[in-house]
Structure formats: C-alpha cells, structure tokens
C-alpha cells in the first residue's frame, strides 16, 4: 500500500476527513461522518435546484463559494434592470427576536 493510501486509511479509521479530500472539498472542521452527511445534504440541495427550478430559499452555507453566488445575483439583477453593478449592494437586517 502506498503512503498516500495508508494516510487515507488512517484518517478513515480515526473518523477524520482525509487530506486529499479536504484539499479539494469544502472547508469544514467536522469529523468524517458529519462531513459526509454535510456533503450528501449539499448534493441533495443542488439536485433539487436542478430538477425543480430555483428554490424559494437558499442554503448559503451549503455553497462551496458563497461569494460567487452573491456576485451572480448582483450581475443578474444589473443585467435585467440595466444598472451598473457597482451601484448595487446588499442590505442585511439582523433581528435579535422575531415576533409572529
């Protein structure tokens, strides 16, 4: 067995994400079992988007690179409304309590 395979086997045995996977995957501090569950959830989210169209709500932390998603939103809006993208920004309101 090669050294790389031995390191991967050790990581799997210790419930750690192998370095080869972590190097190309999403950033996470989770152990392997939770990392795999998160990966499966991400795939399901994207598959539903592909099969069912644009979702009403987006799982932002489920994106590999959320900044690109936000940039894409701004670009689409700017093109649709013929506005310079530099004139657009997001406004976020954070509420401590939500009352129905």
> 40 lies in which domain range?
3-87
Residue 13: per-residue pLDDT: 94
Residue 1: per-residue pLDDT: 80
> pTM for the complete prediction?
0.74
Does 81 reside within a domain? yes
Does 78 reside within a domain? yes
Residues 6+ apart with CB under 8 A from 3: none
Does 8 reside within a domain? yes
Residue 97: per-residue pLDDT: 79
Q: Which residues of 47-86 are buried (b: 16+ CB within 10 A; e: fewer)?
A: eeeeeeeeeeeeeeebbeeeeeeeeeebeeeeeeeeeeee
Residue 80: per-residue pLDDT: 96
Biggest alpha carbon–alpha carbon distance for the chain: 60
**Residue 97: what are its φ and ψ, rounded to 5°?**
-135, 145
Which residue in this structure is represented by tokens 């401590």? 96
The 10s digit of each residue's pLDDT in 46-78 is: 999 999 999 998 998 888 889 999 999 999 999
Number of domains in the chain: 1
The 10s digit of each residue's pLDDT in 27-39 is: 889 999 999 999 9
Does 100 reside within a domain? no
Three-state DSSP class for residue 7:
helix
Work out the number of other CB atoms within 10 angstroms of the CB of residue 17. 21
Does 12 reside within a domain? yes
Does 77 reside within a domain? yes
The 10s digit of each residue's pLDDT in 73-100 is: 999 999 999 999 999 999 988 888 777 6
């Amino acid at each position: 067995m090669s050294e790389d395979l031995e390191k991967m086997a050790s990581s799997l045995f210790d419930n750690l994400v192998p370095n080869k996977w972590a190097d190309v995957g999403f950033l996470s501090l989770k152990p392997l079992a939770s990392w795999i569950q998160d990966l499966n959830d991400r795939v399901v989210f994207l598959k539903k988007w592909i099969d069912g169209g644009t979702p009403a709500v987006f799982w932002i932390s489920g994106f590999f690179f959320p900044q690109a998603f936000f940039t894409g939103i701004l670009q689409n809006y700017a093109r649709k409304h013929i506005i310079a993208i530099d004139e657009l920004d997001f406004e976020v309101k954070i509420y401590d309590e939500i009352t129905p």
